[in-house]
Amino acid sequence: MELPKRRKGDEGVTGEFCNRFGAIAVNKGFVTIGELKAAIMEQIDDDVNGREHRLLGSILYEKGLITEGQIEAVLLELKKIIK
């Protein structure tokens, strides 16, 4: 199953909070720091080379490192921070 690039509820998650997605995912034990760093590097590589920007959750999901449920849990935590 492929996740959309942006999902309902993501509109409140701006670039200001993007780095927090990874920190929360690591703190919850969903991914390792190494896995997060690799995803960030892939995201930067996409951006620098003019490819479509992908959210960290999408990259981690595409690699089979995080589940949809885990993404939802991180987004719920992010929304608490944003409010």
Residue 3 counted as domain residue: no
pLDDT at 67 over 70: yes
Q: Which tens digits make up the pLDDT trace of 1-34?
A: 344 445 444 444 445 555 589 999 999 999 999 9
Residue 50 counted as domain residue: yes
Q: In the prediction, which pLDDT does 63 show?
A: 96
Q: Which tens digits make up the pLDDT trace of 38-54?
A: 999 999 999 999 999 99
**CA 72 – CA 57 distance, rounded (Å):** 10
DSSP 14-70: -HHHHHHHHHHHHHTTSS-HHHHHHHHHHHHHHHHTTPPP--HHHHHHHTTSS-HHH
Number of compact structural domains in the chain? 1
Residue 21 counted as domain residue: yes
Residue 1 counted as domain residue: no
Neighbours of 3 (CB within 10 A): 17
Q: What is the span of the domain harbouring residue 35? A: 14-82
CB 76 within 8 A of CB 57: no
Residue 5 counted as domain residue: no
pTM score, two decimals?
A: 0.75
